[in-house]
Amino acid sequence: MPACVRAGVDRMRIAPAYRTVLYILALMILGVLAFITYTDLHYGWSQAFNIVFIGFNRTLWGIGLAILVLMCVQRYWGVVRTALESPLWAPFARLSYAAYLYHLVVLGIVYMSQQSNYTYQFATAMYFFIGHTVGAYIIAFAHYMLFEKPLLNFEAMLLRRYAPQ
Amino acid sequence: MDSHSYDMRLPHDSLPSSLTELIGYVHVVCALLACIGSNLGIAWDNDLYAYPFLEALHDPRGAPPGGDIMTLIYMKPWTRAGPYLVGFISAYITLDHGGTAA
């Protein structure tokens, strides 16, 4: 759970049936939005569906994530909450913003230095995906150690020095 | 790290809190509707495809017609504000139940 959000003492009371409905709803929203592009790739979408998708996809994704976060903040959904609270995520969470910024650089370096076209196929795309992810995180780690953490330390020193007594 | 924790609810002496909450919700829901409406309207007006590269695979003529989703949708704040505003509502719900944000 993000350290910045705390549920209050008056925890939201939600009946188990409604919690199940919300769980399935959030899972369906996130799952459908994650995998629906398969139908675009293989069958194509009508113009009407393209407009509906553009109109709602980002907001719907936000609603799915909001349900998930709200339920976890209210200390429901034990399995999901325990998985997301795991300290294993902490290093990746610290690097995620830098990895987000640098993954475009990695993509640009890899794709713009291609000497020839390559055939798009599942295994190749999968290996590119893994490579881009690892590459972005390696650069993000260097960025974190060289710039982000030293500046955070500096900021902490400054804030301690000038903290209101 | 968590020693500084603030109750983010603003004090309102002049208005009842139920009214200020309602005003907040109405503002955010109106902004959400404006965001979805602008997405729908821009997509409708310019015959946009959500994924032009995927559509091009089906189109025997190659790239399909339609406007540039990158400049018209992807780079504009009013088409991207939806999840941000949903976050507002999540925060209202958390704070309504005595939650705190630091």
- Here the ipTM equals 0.78
| pLDDT at residue A122 in the model | 86
Give the ranges where chain B is alpha helix by DSSP (H): 17-45, 52-58, 69, 77-80, 82-96
Single out the residue of B45, B46, B80 nearest to residue B64, CA to CA. B46
Q: Do B39 and A54 touch (CB under 8 A)?
A: yes
| Cβ contact B99–A65 (<8 Å) | no
pLDDT for position B99: 66
Domain positions in chain B are 25-96
**Whole-number pLDDT of residue B98:** 66
pLDDT band at B1 (very low <50, low <70, confident <90, very high): very low
Residues B70 and B57: their CA atoms lie apart, in Å, by: 18
Compute the nearest-CA separation of A56 from chain B (Å).
6
pLDDT exceeds cutoff 90 at B60: no
pLDDT at B102: 55
State the Cα torsion A77-A36-B48-A55 to the nearest 10°.
-30
Nearest-neighbour CA in chain A from B28: distance (Å)? 13
Which residue carries 């603003």 as its tokens? B10
Confidence of residue B21 (pLDDT cuts 50, 70, 90): confident
The pLDDT, as a whole number, for residue A30 is: 95
pLDDT at A165: 57
Amino acid in the structure at residue B29:
V
Q: What is the pLDDT of residue B49?
A: 86
Is the confidence at residue B30, as pLDDT, over 80? yes
Tokens linked to A140: 């993000």
DSSP structure class, residue B51: S
Low-confidence ranges of chain A (pLDDT < 50): 1-3
- Where in chain A are the domains? 16-85, 88-161
CA distance A149 to A128: 29
CB B27 within 8 A of CB B91: no
Q: What does the mean pLDDT of chain B come to?
A: 79
* pLDDT computed for residue B54 by the predictor: 77
Provide DSSP, chain A: --TTEE--SS-----HHHHHHHHHHHHHHHHHHHHTHHHHHHT---HHHHHHHHHHHHHHHHHHHHHHHHHHHTT--HHHHHHHH-GGGHHHHHHHHHHHHHHHHHHHHHHHT-SS-----HHHHHHHHHHHHHHHHHHHHHHIIIIIHHHHHHHHHHHHHT---
The reply to whether A59 touches chain B by the CB within 8 Å rule is: yes
Between A3, A40, A70, which is nearest B1 by CB? A3
Contacts of A61 in chain B (CB under 8 A): 83
Higher per-residue pLDDT: A164 or B40: B40
Q: Which residues of B touch A47 (CB under 8 A)?
A: 47, 49
Taking alpha carbons only, the member of B1, B94, B51, B36 closest to residue A36 is B51
The answer to whether residues B40 and A55 touch, using CB atoms and an 8 Å cutoff, is: yes
Across the range B27-46, mean pLDDT stands at 93
